[in-house]
């Protein structure tokens, strides 16, 4: 083995190059059959050649990965990813060190040609282990197509399980290579607000990439609110769980979004230099002994810094004044303002809108020269608008002030639309919750010549139309002064297009029946006329004239699904898609809705389109609103343009909850004010008048105490606690938590989370409204007494539920004050106690439930025992038959008495489900056994043949019932 040529070929094989002596097989490098190599030398050579095979495979892996990376950069399905590329760079570095070591061995062999093979094997033993481990890692990455977080987890586990120090250092370098890419993404996101993820490997994901320019241009402030709530989210599967926790990943997501908001608000300049220390620590974290601790600490410090900057931004934006104004408008804190509003005559929507304008004018006039607080309220009043948002719209006649027609005309109350004409509802409709929208249309030919003209038109197929149902939330109708060419110019919009046309090639002759093609499509537009088609379908149907076509749109907010039905008899949707309307920039979940008639290119003669009916109905209708007969307030909504950046805390969801508070408190205050102003006439008798005044005093006392509890004990106390928490807060998260706690406290103490109690309050409110109507009409007697009894029962139920909530469920210290006011003299509790005692006395007189159940069941058992001796015994005396029959009859009579007591107990006492079931089961058992006895008594007697001889000997006749 002193041949220099063989040694050089061996050194080339170590670098991954085969030749005449060394050949490559799928299992590795091996020696060609040579007669001059002994078996011992062959074994040494093959052990040495393993590292050469590893070197070749790793070199091929890095070369292939580098080529794919640069050829398919930015393509998620074909690109290996930046993490794998970082790993390949570190593998190449390890291979470069190995190649340098092989060159050193070559120099030693040239100096000392007599070096044995064992020396080479010993020198390369460590490299064989290192490259072998890298080869196994490479195999797993290739076969499992690992990328992103999965690749980082694999490398981390490999480092954790490494044996010797050299192997651990080598694997740590590989982890650092892939982890450095991940750390650079962290720095770009948390410090500069940039999502540098072309291969979609980072755990922060951008949801909408349709308008990449506006997303990455951080100088546009209008995109910040959309980004904060809807644009970015956390990808659970992309979080490297071995490196950071999920809590840390959420901190990273929050910090990046906060940095983008601060950059768009011009409040982040100079922070990059201030955070350079954290950037350097992050970029060197994988060189530390504990990367996880370093990452957690740096991520936490960066989040705290962004939190503090956000809080400073909020405080500069008059957060405290905005919260006070929201309390004044939404929670009826401005007493004089709402007193002026409720002083208007009538409860129609227009009357309330006029009263709102009057109250605003009075507030502005009184704010001149007033305190700073009043001046602040006057400033905010320009941003608050009272608007009518009906939960249902049903139009059969379009000659209405709520309808705006552009480009079309009205005929007999219906709209005739031609191409480039539009019809809009003047008021917004609610689309954030589940809704159903339906419109009916009919094609009307432009020819006025009768059926002959219509037939001629149909013979050439010259008719068709293209309608678009549009929901657009942002562009006000005052800005649309003329019909638009296309709905895409509306900006952010949801459109359902229905194209109805008859093509000429679908008709063979004039007398043949026409066939229509109906195309239904769903589009969304984000602005700048960029539209995305979510779904489309085409139907074929006979064209029957004059036929009314129905288009029905159903949206399920829980499933996030939009379905379109065509035809009045359609039971399955012809077009559907997954869509979450909450991602639209809706104001209070509302949007304008309109119908657009667009040009149809394929039709030579486009007829008029007659819109027959148009209706919108929201599925969400509150029991409170239906039972109180105060639907007017449920359709009124306060719209508030929250100044930036306060929408980060006061979101659209919060505004919807504030509106719920506003509607309920305004309803209660209006009822209490109406009861206070209501005057009873003196035309009735003294006794009736006394009963009316007493009932009015009860109603007025109850609702005044409830309203005082809501406005003073709940709203004032909770809002003051919120103000104290905001003043003492140090971070943005503390302000958010304080506001959420305030909203939750108000919701709880307004009983919005207790539907049964809320329903009883609604019933008491309905009684108050009905009492004013009945008393105004002069009715008395039985109606008044029934209302009073019903009101007392409702109040008892309210107090009972409040006491139950206070004792067992939630901790509600404010509720004690309301209970103390309502039950200050124990009137309702004493009356309830008397009723309970009377009920207990009745139950004791008739028998307790379980005593009656035991008595009836034992009576059934006793009947069965007596009937067994009467009917089933072979030897029985004649006298015993009579005694047993009388005994069964007596037990049946006792059981009937027990059944009577049971029926009286079920009528007079209040039973739960278990007691009712037990009583019914005991009654059924007694009736079943008694019926069996009667049937057996009525059956004819039978004598068994085998007992006939015995009866003749003893002269004792067998019982007539023996069988």
Nearest to 199 by CA among 79, 84, 88: 79
Distance between CA 950 and CA 947 in Å, rounded?
5
Long-range contacts of 830-834 (CB under 8 A, 24+ apart): 831/792, 831/796, 832/796, 832/800
pLDDT number for residue 544: 73
Share of the chain above pLDDT 70, in %: 81
- With a CB cutoff of 8 Å and minimum separation 6, the contacts of 204 are 189, 195, 197, 232, 233, 234, 235, 252, 253, 256
Query: What six digits make up the tokens of 840?
Result: 């207990």
**In terms of DSSP H, where are the helices of 533-651?**
623-627, 631-634
Helices (H), 317-412: 319-330, 335-342, 349-367, 372-380
CA–CA separation, 695 and 693 (whole Å): 5
* pLDDT at residue 479 in the model: 67
Q: Which residue has the tokens 């942002």?
A: 474
pLDDT at 839: 56
> pLDDT, tens digit, for every residue of 913-940?
888 888 888 888 888 888 888 887 777 6
Residue owning tokens 């120090």? 165
Q: What pairing do the DSSP bridges indicate for beta strands 403-406 and 421-425?
A: antiparallel
Share of the chain above pLDDT 90, in %: 17
Q: Evaluate the omega torsion of the peptide bond into residue 738 and state whether it is cis, within 30 degrees of 0.
A: no
At 715 the pLDDT is: 93
Residue 724 burial (C-beta neighbours within 10 Å; 0-12, 13-18, 19+): exposed
Helix (H) or strand (E) holding 467: strand 464-472
The enclosing H or E element of 283 equals: helix 276-283
What pTM, to 2 d.p., does this model score? 0.72
Q: How far is CA 3 from CA 7, 10, 21, 48, 728, in A?
A: 7, 11, 13, 17, 85
How are beta strands 548-556 and 530-542 bridged, if at all?
unpaired
Q: What are phi and psi of 842, to 5 degrees?
A: -60, -40
Positive or negative, the CA dihedral 616, 622, 628, 630 is negative
Give the three-class secondary structure for 600.
Answer: coil
Give the pLDDT of residue 961: 43
- H/E stretch holding 470: strand 464-472
How far lies 573's CA from each of 553, 566, 577, 595, 626, in Å?
Answer: 9, 8, 10, 20, 31
| CB contact at 8 A, 490 and 593 | no
For residue 624, what pLDDT is reported?
A: 43
> Each residue of 207-262: pLDDT tens digit?
765 555 555 666 555 567 777 877 888 999 999 999 999 999 999 999 999 998 88
Q: Which residues of the chain have pLDDT under 50?
A: 1-2, 372, 448-460, 506-511, 603, 621-631, 844, 846, 943-963
Q: Length of the chain, please?
A: 963
Q: What's the pLDDT tens digit per position in 464-494?
A: 888 999 998 877 766 676 677 677 778 788 8
């Amino acid at each position: 083995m002193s041949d220099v040529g063989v040694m050089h070929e061996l050194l080339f094989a170590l670098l991954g190059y085969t030749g005449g002596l060394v050949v490559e097989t799928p299992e590795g490098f091996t020696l060609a059959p040579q007669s001059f190599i002994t078996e011992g030398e062959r074994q040494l050579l093959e052990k040495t050649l393993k590292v050469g095979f590893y070197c070749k495979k790793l070199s091929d892996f890095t070369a292939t990965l580098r080529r794919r990376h640069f050829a398919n950069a930015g393509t998620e399905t074909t690109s290996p990813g930046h993490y794998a590329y970082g790993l390949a760079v570190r593998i190449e570095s390890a291979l470069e060190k190995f190649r340098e070591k092989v060159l050193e061995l070559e120099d030693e062999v040239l100096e000392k040609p007599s070096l044995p093979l064992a020396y080479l094997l010993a020198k390369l033993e460590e490299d064989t282990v290192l490259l072998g481990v890298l080869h196994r890692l490479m195999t797993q990455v290739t076969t499992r197509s690992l990328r992103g977080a999965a690749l980082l987890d694999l490398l981390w586990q490999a480092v954790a399980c490494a044996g010797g120090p050299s192997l651990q250092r080598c694997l740590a370098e590989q982890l650092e290579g892939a982890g450095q890419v991940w750390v650079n993404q962290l720095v770009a996101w948390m410090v500069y607000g940039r999502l540098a993820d072309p291969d979609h490997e980072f755990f922060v994901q951008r949801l909408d990439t349709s308008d990449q320019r506006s997303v990455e241009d951080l100088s546009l402030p209008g995109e910040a609110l959309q980004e904060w709530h809807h644009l970015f989210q956390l990808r659970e599967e992309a979080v490297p769980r071995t490196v950071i926790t999920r809590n840390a990943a959420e901190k990273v997501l929050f910090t990046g979004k906060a940095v983008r908001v601060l950059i768009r608000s011009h409040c982040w300049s100079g922070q990059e230099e201030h955070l350079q220390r954290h950037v350097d620590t992050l970029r060197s974290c994988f060189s530390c002994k504990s990367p996880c601790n370093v990452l957690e600490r740096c991520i936490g410090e960066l989040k705290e810094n962004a939190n503090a900057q956000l809080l400073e931004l909020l405080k500069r934006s008059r957060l405290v004044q905005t919260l006070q104004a929201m309390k004044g408008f939404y929670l009826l804190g401005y007493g004089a303002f709402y007193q002026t509003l409720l002083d208007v005559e009538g409860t129609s929507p227009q009357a309330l809108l006029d009263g709102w304008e009057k109250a605003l004018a009075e507030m502005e006039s009184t704010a001149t020269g007033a305190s700073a607080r009043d001046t602040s309220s006057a400033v905010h009043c320009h941003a608050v608008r009272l608007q009518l948002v009906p939960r249902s719209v049903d139009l059969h006649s379009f000659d209405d002030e709520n309808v705006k027609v552009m480009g079309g005309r009205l005929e007999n109350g219906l709209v005739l639309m031609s191409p480039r004409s539009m019809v809009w509802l003047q008021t917004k409709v609610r689309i954030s919750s589940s809704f159903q929208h339906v419109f009916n249309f009919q094609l009307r030919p432009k020819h006025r010549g009768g059926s002959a003209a219509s037939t001629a038109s149909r013979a050439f197929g010259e008719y068709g139309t293209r309608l678009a149902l549009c929901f657009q939330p942002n562009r006000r109708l005052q800005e649309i002064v003329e019909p638009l060419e296309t709905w895409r110019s509306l900006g952010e919009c949801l459109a359902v297009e229905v194209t109805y046309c008859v093509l000429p090639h679908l008709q063979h002759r004039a007398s043949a029946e026409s066939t229509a093609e109906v195309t239904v499509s769903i589009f969304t537009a984000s602005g700048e006329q960029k539209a995305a088609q979510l779904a489309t379908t085409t139907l074929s149907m006979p064209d029957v004239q004059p036929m009314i076509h129905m288009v029905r749109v159903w949206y399920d907010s829980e499933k996030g699904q939009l379905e379109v039905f065509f035809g009045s008899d359609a039971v399955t949707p012809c077009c559907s898609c997954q869509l979450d309307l909450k991602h639209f920039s809706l104001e209070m979940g509302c949007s304008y809705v309109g119908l657009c008639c667009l040009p149809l290119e394929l039709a030579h003669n486009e007829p008029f389109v007659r819109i027959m009916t148009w209706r919108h109905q929201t599925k969400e209708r509150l029991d409170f609103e239906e039972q109180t007969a105060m639907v007017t307030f449920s359709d009124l909504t306060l719209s508030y343009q929250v100044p930036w950046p306060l929408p980060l805390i006061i979101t659209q969801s919060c505004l919807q909850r504030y509106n719920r508070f506003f509607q309920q408190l305004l309803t209660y205050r209006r009822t209490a004010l109406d009861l206070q102003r209501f005057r009873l006439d003196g035309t009735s008798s003294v006794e009736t008048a006394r009963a009316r005044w007493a009932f009015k005093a009860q109603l007025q006392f109850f609702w005044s105490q409830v309203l005082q509890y809501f406005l003073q004990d709940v709203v004032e106390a909770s809002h003051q606690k919120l103000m104290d928490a905001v003043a003492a807060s140090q971070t943005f998260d503390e302000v958010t938590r304080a506001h959420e706690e305030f909203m939750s406290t108000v919701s709880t103490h307004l009983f919005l989370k207790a539907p049964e109690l809320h329903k009883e309050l609604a019933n008491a409110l309905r009684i108050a409204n009905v009492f004013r109507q009945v008393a105004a009409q002069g009715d008395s007697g039985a109606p008044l007494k029934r209302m009073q009894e019903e009101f007392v029962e409702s109040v008892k139920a309210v107090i009972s539920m409040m006491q139950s909530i206070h004792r067992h469920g939630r901790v509600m210290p404010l509720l004690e004050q309301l209970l103390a006011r309502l039950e200050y003299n124990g009137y309702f509790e004493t009356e309830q106690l008397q009723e309970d005692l009377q009920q207990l006395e009745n139950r004791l007189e008739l028998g307790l439930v379980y005593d009656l159940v035991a008595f009836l069941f034992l009576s059934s058992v006793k009947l069965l025992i007596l009937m067994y001796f009467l009917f089933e015994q072979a030897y029985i005396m004649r006298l015993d038959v009579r005694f047993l029959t009388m005994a069964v009859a007596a037990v049946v009579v006792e059981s009937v008495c027990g059944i009577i007591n049971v029926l009286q107990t079920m009528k007079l006492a209040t039973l739960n489900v278990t007691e009712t079931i037990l009583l019914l089961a005991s009654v059924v058992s007694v009736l079943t056994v008694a019926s069996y006895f009667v049937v057996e008594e009525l059956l004819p007697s039978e004598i068994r043949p085998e007992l006939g001889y015995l009866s003749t000997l003893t002269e004792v006749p067998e019982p007539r019932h023996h069988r």
